[in-house]
Structure 1
């Protein structure tokens, strides 16, 4: 009986270690792929909600997933930010950085409900997105459609890579 308990402990330990390895691997991939998209949301002074209020406790972190695409003529940045209005954003370009600030507001349709799950973050946020080169910020155009903020940044005129020929000495 003692041997079977030792074997069960060994099997349980092995299974637990495998599970923890899978969790750690998933966490590392999530952080690696989305570390820049992981955005901190801050809340102003909030009163502590009582059970009678039935307000959820908001997460402080959420993903604002994005992409930066470059063509010969422009750099296009797209960031997913559902549930906002275009007036909720402030977009700034400085050199080769795009700065995005905004507020995602919590709006409740009714006060007589109870939340059982809350994964969406609300509040103020800011995010810095590095661009592959400097752009003229005064020529940038931004739009917000279907929950996606799109910023089009024309490249500077005359700033193009060129092939440099190699010569023998």
Structure 2
């Protein structure tokens, strides 16, 4: 009986160790893939919900949210796409300076009624700035931006030669 209890303890320990390793691996992967997309939102006093939940406390707005994006490079241009759901194009501003694309904006809370109670609040609101390093020098004078279906697309023509050059060793 004592031996079977010892074996059960070892099995539980091994299973807990595997579980912890899987959780740790998942967090590392999440942080690795989302660290650039994780964006801090600065809230304003009037952004807080006006209603209290059953506990009497206001639900806290998240201060951080993911602004998922991607950067694609072709022979002629760099294309940056960033998901900005719930925003209007007028609330977004783009600046390019020193090889860095700066994206700033504000996501506003819109309530259709004041006589409701929030039970879950997972969306971040407020002002934000996102910094995206560009892999090449770009022609800022011919850059173009568009916004459709919650996705901001910035097209940046590359400066210099369209392709890299291979140099033979003599």
Whether TM exceeds 0.5 here: the answer is yes
Is residue 59 from structure 1 mapped to residue 76 from structure 2 by the alignment? no
Structure 1 residues 55 and 108: CA distance shift in structure 2, 3 A: farther
Q: 3-state DSSP class of the match of 2:85?
A: coil
Match of 2:96 in 1: 93
Structure 1 residues 44 and 7: CA distance shift in structure 2, 3 A: same
How many residues align? The count is 167
Higher mean displacement: 115-124 or 127-136: 115-124
Structure 1 residues 56 and 73: CA distance shift in structure 2, 3 A: same
Q: Which runs of no fewer than 5 residues in structure 2 stay unpaired? A: none
RMSD: 2.4
- 1:63-103 deviation digits (Å, cap 9, x = unpaired): 11111111111110000110000011110011321110011
Q: Which runs of no fewer than 5 residues in structure 1 stay unpaired? A: none
- 1:98-129 deviation digits (Å, cap 9, x = unpaired): 11001111111122222222221111111111
After the TM superposition, list the runs of 4 or more consecutive aligned residues in structure 1 that deviate by more than 6 angstroms.
Answer: none
